Structure 1
Amino acid sequence: MTAPGFAQVLTEGVELLRGFRRRRTAVTEARHAVAEWSARHPAARPQLVVDVRPGSPVVDYDLLVCHPEGGTVALSAPADDGVPWLADHSTHWAAGYLVSVDKVHVHVAEALTMLRRLPRGDRAVHDEIVEQSLLLNEIMTDDEPLDEEDVRAAADEFRRSRGLHDRASTLAWLAEMSMSGEQFEAFIAGIARRRRFRRRKEAELAPAYLADHQADFDRVRALWVTACQPVNGELLRGLGGLLGCREAEITIGERWAGELPAPLRHAARESMVGPVEHAGGYLTGMVLERRASRDDPETLAAAGAAAFREWLAARRKRASIEWHWL
């Protein structure tokens, strides 16, 4: 690239920056504009840097371009107050951020809205935040329009998770969170895009996963007892074997085979299992009925959900995750 050519790149880059709308909802639009402009100046290898202000709908932009003699030139063109965001926020680059997952940088306020519910069992808060951040990485370039059903389903899911059962409670929550209507629309749109990505990924992965894990998707009706001491399996048929047990938990129901306690998963119909050591105690059970797996919608949906969990775990292992404990 010649010097005059680079001067033209700088001039066009400044004009491009000055034309961007500084709202969170306009970031995708800005990225597309830079991508189109980059195609006309491949030697400059332009990169758009977006700074999202914590608790604000306003964003700032920088444009990085490669100098023809080496190095990088950063363009900043604030059109309103005249203060480049780099100077305006002259603290550590991660100030206000909680975690970075690959290309996604999550602010503390954003992390709080990611939590659909308080984690239970062995699932921690940070696991939920990382999972949602991984999905955000996957939809960064998603500009496909959302249909009304996608948005409505995402809004309903969010309101249910927060116990917002009517318009009044939703408006009260928005006021409490200091969230504008525009911010809420963008927030729900993000949920809708993540839900759509997950739904499509599950449908994509389901057939192969089911083919590889057929036995895990048998429908099994079983009865089992977990106890602090061994239970006689033959007496289990009338439950009389439990009378001398200090403490026991009885379960009877229908499950996917893969969701049963491990000793029962692949047991044949009407077969008795145990007593065997299990989960710090003993398990005794019997399979009452077993139906071979089929590729019907219900089974494919279950296989897709399991496949997605496996895919997400693998995606997390490949991710760059950095927590900013500032």
Structure 2
Amino acid sequence: MIAPAGAALDDAALGQALTLLARLNTDPVAAGSAEELLAALRAEHPGLRLRLLRHREAYGDTVQFGLLVSGPRGGTVTLSWAPPSEVPWMLRGAQRSAESMLLRVNGEALDIQHAMAYLDVMWEQTALLDRLVDVCLVQQELAESPVTLTDGELQDAMDAFRRARGLLTPAATAAWMARRHLDHAALEEMVAREAAVAALRTRVTVDRVDSWCAAHRSTYDRLRIARVRFADRAAAERFVAAFAERRRTCDTTADAFGAALTAVAPSRPLGAELMERTVADLDLGLGSGLADAVAPGTLLPPRAVGTEWEVVQVLSRAAASDSDLLEQASRRLFDEWLADRRRTARIEWFWGEAEKTPR
């Protein structure tokens, strides 16, 4: 080893530094005492400035060491050493430039860093961020405990995938694929991935589905409702008062509802709709007993929805089908399973502000 001319870094010092690196990168005991060993080298060469570098690989939680050696006249030598089984320092974390690109349009490339800067609002959309984390957690689970699907199961998944998107003919399917720049292999991979996630969801929730359904059955009853929207709370409360007054004189609650709308016409409701919802969709904020008591004809108190206020009348109520309830149970329990894993996951974001990545 020959030090650069005028650098005041002799071969002996650099040789000792390289020997130290080799020891740190092969001996776990020495790695645990890295600072003490470096302090001894500093004491032997007081004219040198030595800075120990650590590169941690997240997958195996392994550490590789490097050294920056600076002499009294300036200039810095970078030293690294890797055993045969390890990736050399310069290549750890290396990637091709194309791997940082999100897309290219008419030759104009957009890399991930700049795309995320445009989408910085995502930091406020915690549900979206959770979903991105969930993708990684699901991939990890499927890698460690794979799901095996038969050809018949894959065909059923493909048929369901096409039905859900209205792709009922080969021509419709081909057009859908063309718009998304997918070939048949990519479509099969997409469907297989969805089928694997569905099988995983069943696997991690099957033991709790029955008890969940028993506890939440009435929460997913189907409600047919009439909803009236107002610009402010005062207008919504006037409608409720008018409804109570008209109910004493009208033959049916539907008549009272219409009469109340006529009575508050100067308040100009923003809109009125008929729709179907579940008890859970309405987010009543009621205990389970009160939620069970919501019956046809019930007029719910005014509540804020965004910048508007709404009043809802329940027109009819029907029990949830077994298939709908099982689907809800599976999804809710799978969400809980993912939430438990998010709480203990080691998450590293590679965009946005540094403090948003937990250390």
Aligning the two structures, in what range does the TM-score lie when normalised by the shorter sequence? Answer: 0.5 to 0.7
Which of 198, 203, 212 lines up with 2:201 in the alignment? 198
CA distance in 1, matches of 2:191, 2:175: 18
Match of 2:312 in 1: 285
* Cα 1:200–1:240 shift into 2, 3 Å: farther
Change (3 A) 1:318 1:153: farther
Superposition deviation, residue 322 in structure 1: 1.1
Q: Which of 280, 286, 303 is the matching residue for 1:258?
A: 280
Distance 2:190 2:296 in 1: 51
TM-superposed deviation, 1:257: 1.0
Whole-angstrom CA distance in 1 between matches of 2:154 and 2:128: 25
Instruction: Answer 1 or 2: which has greater helix percent.
Output: 2
Equivalent-residue separation in structure 2 for 1:302 and 1:170 (angstroms) = 30
Alpha-carbon distance in structure 1 between the residues aligned to 2:214 and 2:329: 9
Cα RMSD, aligned residues only = 4.7
Query: Counterpart in 1 of 2:271?
Result: 249
Instruction: Tell me the CA shift for residue 225 of structure 1.
Output: 1.8
Partner of 1:311: 337
Aligned to 2:93: 92
Query: Structure 1 residues 275 and 170 mapped into 2: Cα distance closer, same or farther (>3 Å)?
Result: closer
Within 1, Cα distance between the matches of 2:90 and 2:187?
25
Determine the C-alpha separation between the residues in 1 that align with 2:345 and 2:153.
28
The separation in 2 between residues aligned to 1:157 and 1:324, in whole angstroms, is 36
Q: Which amino acid aligns with 2:332?
A: A
Q: Are 2:243 and 1:233 aligned?
A: yes
Moved more, 277-286 or 222-231: 277-286
2:134 and 2:338 in contact (8 A); partners too? yes
1:273 to partner: Cα distance: 3.0
Q: What amino acid is aligned across from residue 138 of structure 2 in structure 1?
A: L
1:323 Cα deviation (Å)?
A: 1.0
Deviation readout 1:260-307 (Å, 9 max, x if unpaired):
24268825313433542422443322222234557x233222232233
Match of 1:325 in 2: 351
Tell me the secondary structure at the aligned position of residue 272 of structure 1.
Answer: coil
Aligned length: 228
* Structure 2 residue aligned with 1:69: none
Structure 2 distance, partners of 1:309, 1:189, is: 21
**Offset of 1:138 from its aligned partner?**
1.9
Counterpart of 2:272 in structure 1: which amino acid? Answer: I
1:128-156 CA deviation, whole Å, 9 max, x = no partner?
32222121122113344312244345556
Distance of 1:263 and 1:144 partners within structure 2: 39
Verify the 8 A CA contact 1:202 1:301 in the aligned structure 2. Answer: no
Task: Work out the percentage of aligned pairs sharing the same amino acid.
Answer: 22
Match of residue 4 from structure 1? none
Q: From 217, 221, 226, give the equivalent of 1:218.
A: 221
Q: Tell me, which stretches of 5 or more residues in structure 1 are unaligned? A: 1-48, 52-61, 65-72, 77-83, 99-107, 113-118
Residues 9-45 of structure 1, C-alpha deviations (whole Å, 9 max, x = no match): xxxxxxxxxxxxxxxxxxxxxxxxxxxxxxxxxxxxx
Quickly say closer, same or farther: Cα 1:269–1:147, change in 2 above 3 A: same
Instruction: Please say which of residues 150-159 and 139-148 is displaced more in the overlay.
Output: 150-159
For residues 164-203 of structure 1, what are the structure 2 equivalents within 5 Å?
165-167=172-174, 170=177, 181=185, 188-203=191-206
**Aligned-partner SS, 1:262:** coil
Q: 1:141 to 1:269 in 2, by over 3 A?
A: same
CA contact (8 A) 1:226 1:283 kept: yes
Offset at residue 258 of structure 1 (A) = 0.6
The separation in 2 between residues aligned to 1:89 and 1:184, in whole angstroms, is: 38
Deviation at 1:193, TM superposition (A): 1.5
The TM-score, its normalising length taken from structure 2, stands at 0.48
Inter-partner Cα distance in structure 2 for 1:97 and 1:299: 43
C-alpha contact (below 8 Å) 1:276/1:282 kept by paired residues: yes
Distance (Å, rounded) in 2 between the aligned partners of 1:271 and 1:174: 51
Equivalent of 2:299 in 235, 254, 273: 273
Larger Rg computed on CA atoms: 2
Where does the alignment leave 5 or more consecutive residues of structure 2 unmatched? Answer: 1-56, 63-81, 102-110, 116-121, 247-255, 353-359
Q: What letter is aligned with 2:346?
A: S
Q: Which has the higher contact order (CA 8 A, sep 6+)?
A: 1
Deviation per residue, 1:200-241 (Å, 9 max, x gap): 445443222222323312232222323122123345521424
